[in-house]
Structure 1
Amino acid sequence: MKSQEHKVYSTIIFDLGAVLIDWNPRYLYRKIFSSEEETEDFLQHICTADWNEEQDAGRSLQDGTELLIDSHPKHENNIRAFYGRWKEMLGGEIAGTVALLHALKNSGQYKLYVLTNWSNETFPLALVEFPFLQLFDGIVVSGREKQRKPAASFYQLLLDRYDIAAADALFIDDNLRNVTAAQKFGIDSILFNNPDQLKDELVNRIILV
């Protein structure tokens, strides 16, 4: 870590899902299906991550839902539940990471931003549900911008909008694909595993003490 110990950062960029917010469709579908096998089969073959990311990239929830029902009519009710009961996928804030966010904010040393893959139609619900989102200096939502991580243009949009130099920023995300893209773009990044690991990474970079 010696090469990073003396680097000075001005900006910390957070992902939201699985970093600050515990969002998981299994919380809903474990109520709908009687077994873990059925839940996993449904999420791996019908309401897949790739399908959901198209809504994150700007496709309307209605269009995404109807498209999937056309392909899997027997699962219509289960498919409609994905967004119809979306709030049931929220497990709450990830308290350890939120505590780190408060520490960063209270230090007064960093600009704090969000770069998230999230549907523009469901994000207003998150703003109501999670008051800590008010701590950020800016939030860039993929569904609003109609582009998403790991596209280089999405990272560039954040940097341009808030006049951030890539070399001065640190990016935190739980998805290796997104972290790799940020690093290729010149943004130092942390692959998030859990709050304790993140705290260690921030201390190693002398961002927190």
Structure 2
Amino acid sequence: MTEIRHIVFDIGKVLIHYDPDLPFSRLIPDEARRRWFFDNVCTSDWNIEQDRGRAWGDAEALLIERYPEEADNIRAFRQNWHEMVSHHYEDSVAIMLGLIEDGRDVTMLTNFAADTFAEARMRFPFLNRPRGVTVSGEIGLIKPDRAIYERHAADFDLEPAASLFIDDSAKNVQGAIDAGWQAVLFEGAEKLEADLRRLGVH
């Protein structure tokens, strides 16, 4: 196995918390109705298109045309996004900052809408510490498409075989492996520490 020279972090659910239920448990208190809303209206498939670069106004208009009675809740998704990212994970952020302080080459690769990422960067200053970041919404590519891994490697001059990707999604981990990277599934800071030790990184 090639020695790891580059470490690439995902952001959501690895460094910062993300949970749409946080505001919507207040906006739609009935759990069954809230589940219906996320399963049928503001779905993961709908939200991922903003990560691919679709404007929020276009995304909202599309749903409001289909579900006019849900207009307020549809608009509330973006309006209350800040509540969905309620905090960061101190332990995994400490791992990332420790790697940077040790002189490791650390970058980030994330599925994130461009405007919400700009907001996240202001709220969580540690997101400015790595050497750089590829944001899906800024380049029109999303994980686990192979093209986004190739773009990140090219933009940051990474050798894929010497790059370790850390993500909470098994699909995204597999996407990195398919692109020739090494990768581990994030399941908490303790496992990440163990994975890094096993791979000779930390």
2:115 partner SS:
coil
- Confirm or deny: 8 A CA contact 1:61 1:121 kept in the other structure: no
Deviation, structure 1 residue 26: 0.9
How far apart are 1:37 and its partner, in Å?
2.3
CA distance in 2, matches of 1:57, 1:130: 22
**CA displacement at 1:123 relative to structure 2:** 1.1
Q: Structure 2 regions of 5+ residues with no counterpart? A: none
Paired residues for 1:45-194 under 5 Å = 45-108=40-103, 110-194=104-188
Which residues in structure 2 correspond to 1:187-206 (within 5 Å)?
187-206=181-200
CA distance, structure 2, for counterparts of residue 44 and residue 84 of structure 1: 20
- Aligned residue number for residue 44 of structure 1: 39
The two structures have a TM-score, normalised by structure 1, of 0.94
**Match for 2:198: what amino acid?**
N
Amino acid across the alignment from 2:182: D
Return the alpha-carbon distance in structure 1 between the equivalents of residues 125 and 94 of structure 2: 13
1:96 deviates by: 1.1
Residue of structure 1 in register with 2:8 after alignment: 13
Name the % identity: 34
Segments of 5+ residues of structure 1 without an aligned counterpart are none
Cα deviation for residue 39 of structure 1 reads 2.1
- How big is each residue's C-alpha offset from its partner over 1:52-71, in whole Å with a ceiling of 9 and x where there is no partner? 00010011010001101111
- Provide the aligned length of Structure 1 versus Structure 2: 202
